[in-house]
A and B are shown apart, each in its own frame.
Chain A
Amino acid sequence: MSEIQEQLGLNAGMAVEISQRNRMWRAFRRNKTATIGGVMAVFIVLVAIFAPLLSPYDPLEQDSVVRLTGSSAAHWLGTDDFGRDVYSRILWGSRVSLIIGFFSVLMGMIVGTGMGMVAGYYGGKIETMIMRTVDVLMCFPDLILAIAVTAVLGSNLVNLIITLAIVMTPRFARLSQGQLLKMKETEYVVAAQAIGAKVPRIIIRHIFPNIFGELLVAGTLWVGVAIRLEANLAFIGLGVQPPTPTWGNMIREGVDVLINAPGISIFAGLSILITILAFNTFGDGIRDMIDPRLRGE
C-alpha cells in the first residue's frame, strides 16, 4: 500500500480520504433505488433546463380548433381547454417547480442553519430567543404557514421562494442546532477552543463540514416537500398565476374538465409525483451513503 502511495505521490491522509470517498460512492451505486432516484432527479433537472428545446409547441399558444383533444400524434398528451399542448406545458412546468423547490430550500438552509448554529453554539438567551421563534413557526402546519405568508406577500415566483424559505428555515434551524449540540462536546472542537480559535472559524471549519452531510440529506428530501407545497398553493390558486404553466395550475385547470379530459390532471400530477419520488429516493440514498451504520446493510 505504502509503495503504491509513494508511486502515486499520495500522502496517507489523502489516501484515507479517497478510499472513504470510494466507499461512499460504492455504497451509493449498490443502493439501486438511490441510483434510480439520482438518475431520475438529474433527468428532470435536464428536462427543465432544456424545456424550450424539447417542447414541440409554445406552452402559451392557444388553438381553439384542438380544444380538449386526447392523445394524438400531434399532441402526445392531448390539449387543454384553451387548445394548449399539455406535453409542452408539463415540460415548462418543471421549471417553476424546480426553481421554487431548489431556491427555497437553499435559502431556508442558509438562514436556518445559520440560526441553528448560532443558537446551539452560544446557548443562553440567544438560543432561547432563536429556538422559541422556531417553535412558534413550527406551531403552524407547513401548508397553513405557507398559505398565510403567501396571502401577505402575494404570489409571484420570487415571493413564493421567500414564502417556502420561511417554511423551511425552522426545519433547518432545529436540525442544525441539534447536530451542533452533539458536535460541541467533541474533542476536536474543544481542542480548537483551547488553542484559541475564533468562534466563526470553529463553526465554519470544524463544525459545519461535519454536519453538512445531514443538512444535504434533509435538503434533498425537503426539495420534494417544497415542490409539493408549491403544487398545493398553485392548486388553491395562490401559486404562480396563470397562464404561466405550473404543474399545480395544470391540475387545478384539469379538475374542471376531469370528465372530458382526465389526462391533464393525471399527467401533471404524475410529473409532481415522479419528481418528488426522485428526490426522496435520492435523499434516502445519500443518507445511506453518508451514514456508516447504514452502509453495511
Chain B
Amino acid sequence: MFKYAVRRILQSIPILLIVLTLVFVVVRVLPGDPAVAALGDYASREAVEALREKLGLNDPIWLQYIKFLGNLLKGDLGKSAITGYSVAQQVIHVLPYTLTLTFCAIVFGYIFGVPLGISAAVHRNSFIDYFNRIFSLLGLSVPAFYLGILLMLIFAIIFPIFPVVGGGDFWDLKDNLRHLVLPGFSLGLLMMAYVTRMTRSSILVVLREDYVRTARAKGVIERIILYKHVLRNSLIPIVTLGGLYAVVLIGSSVMVEIVFSRPGLGKLMVGAIKQRDYTTLQSVMVIYAVMVVFINLATDLIYSLIDPRIRYDD
C-alpha cells in the first residue's frame, strides 16, 4: 500500500508541473496588456512601461516562468496589479467559503443519495424507483445556477426566509449557515442526483452476482445479504465516482457563487477575468488544478484501500 501511495504521489508531480506550465502559457497569451489593464486605457506610456518593469513583464519569458514556479514553491501568489492586494490573502479569505460549500454539497449528496439509491435498486420498478429515476434525470439536467435562481426566488424573495446574496460572516456559525442553506442546497441536490443514480446502478450490478445468488440459496436473510454482501461490494464505484463528481461540483460551485454573490474562488476567478487581473486569474487556476489533482490522488488511494486487488495488481 505504502509503495503504491508513494508511486501514485510521484506520478502526480509531472502532471502538476505541466498543468502549471499550461496555466502560465494561457495567462501569457490572454489578449491585452496587464499593465494597461491595471492603469486604464488613458495611462501614459511611461507609467505603463514602469508598471511592466515592476511586474516583471519585460523579463524574458523563461525568466518569468522560473520566477513563477519559484514563487509558487514559496507559497507566494504575487500581488494583484488591479487591487494591489496580495493574491494569497484574497485566496485565503475566499477559499473556506468554496470548500465549505462543496463539502456540504458532497455530504448532503451522500447522506440522502445513498439510501435513496439503495431503496430504488432493492424495490426495482416500484414507485420509489420511478421517483428516483425522474429525480436523478432532472438533477443531471438542471444547471446549478438555474436551480439557485429558482431557490432564491422562492425562499429569499417570495418567502424571505433566507438571505438573498452574500456569504455572511464565515466565523459566525449561525450567519454562515443561514447564508449556506440555499447555495448548499442548489449544489447538494445535484450531488444527490449523481449519488442516487450511481448507487442504484452499482447495487443492481452486484445484485446479479453469483455470490448473492449463493447467499440467497443458502437462506441468508435478505437484510444481511444487502448490508454484508451487496453494499460492501458496490461501495467501490460509489467512492471512485464520488471523486469524479466532486470535481464536477467544484466547477458548478463557480456558478452558484456567482448567482448568490457568495465569496469564493469562482467569483474571484470571474472577477479577475472581467478586470483583466492576470495575477489573480493565474493563481486561482493553479489552485483549482491542484484541488483536482489532489482529489484524483485521494480517490485512487481510497480506491486502493477499499479494493485490495489494486495493490496486488501493481
Interface residues of A, Cβ cutoff 8 Å to B: 33, 132, 135-136, 138-144, 147-149, 151-152, 154, 224, 228, 231-232, 235-238, 251, 255, 258-259, 262, 265-266, 269, 272-273, 276-277, 280-281, 284
Contacts and interface: CB of A to CB of B under 8 A. Distances in A.
Interface in B241-266: 247-248, 250-252, 254-255, 258-259
Interface string B9-43: 00000111011001000100111000000000000
Interface class of chain B by DSSP: helix
B285 A144 contact: yes
Given A132-B18, A148-B285, A238-B273, A277 B138 contact: yes
Interface of B: 14-16, 18-19, 22, 26, 29-31, 133, 137-138, 140-143, 145-146, 149-150, 152-153, 157, 247-248, 250-252, 254-255, 258-259, 269-270, 273-274, 281, 285, 288-289, 292-293, 296
A255 B156 CA distance: 13
B202 to A, nearest CB: 15
A51 B285 CA distance: 39
B68 to A, nearest CB: 16
Contact of A151 (B22, B30, B145): B30
A190 to B, nearest CB: 24
A273 B149 contact: no
B134 to A, nearest CB: 9
A138 to B, nearest CB: 8
Contacts of A272: 143, 146
The 10 closest A-B pairs by CB, nearest first: A141-B251, A269-B146, A143-B251, A276-B141, A277-B141, A139-B289, A136-B18, A139-B19, A151-B273, A139-B292
30 contacts: A132-B14, A139-B15, A139-B292, A140-B289, A141-B288, A142-B248, A142-B251, A144-B269, A144-B288, A147-B270, A147-B273, A148-B26, A151-B30, A228-B143, A231-B143, A232-B255, A235-B258, A236-B255, A237-B274, A238-B273, A258-B157, A269-B150, A272-B143, A273-B142, A276-B141, A276-B142, A277-B138, A280-B137, A280-B141, A281-B137
A60 B252 CA distance: 31
B288 A140 contact: yes
A265 B149 contact: yes
Nearest to B284: A144
A284 B133 CA distance: 12
Given A140-B288, A232-B255, 16 more contacts: A132-B15, A136-B22, A139-B296, A140-B292, A141-B247, A144-B250, A148-B285, A154-B31, A232-B145, A235-B258, A236-B270, A251-B145, A258-B149, A265-B153, A273-B141, A277-B141
A126 to B, nearest CB: 17
Nearest to A235: B145
B153 A143 contact: no
Contacts of B252: 143
A259 B157 contact: yes
Nearest to A275: B141
Contacts of A231: 143, 146
A141 B269 contact: no
Contacts of A251: 145-146, 149
B232 to A, nearest CB: 23
Nearest to A262: B153
A90 to B, nearest CB: 14
A282 to B, nearest CB: 11
Query: Which of B22, B26, B138, B143 has the most chain A CB atoms inside 10 A of its CB?
Result: B143
B255 A143 contact: yes
Nearest to B156: A258
B155 to A, nearest CB: 13
B138 A152 contact: no
A232 B157 contact: no
Contacts of B296: 139
Contacts of B289: 139-140
A118 B80 CA distance: 43
Nearest to A143: B251
B145 A136 contact: no
Contact of A266 (B31, B142, B150, B255): B150
A43 to B, nearest CB: 16
A228 B269 CA distance: 19
A86 B49 CA distance: 48
A238 B274 CA distance: 9
A177 B47 CA distance: 52
A88 B247 CA distance: 37
A236 B247 CA distance: 20
Contacts of A265: 146, 149, 153
Nearest to B25: A152
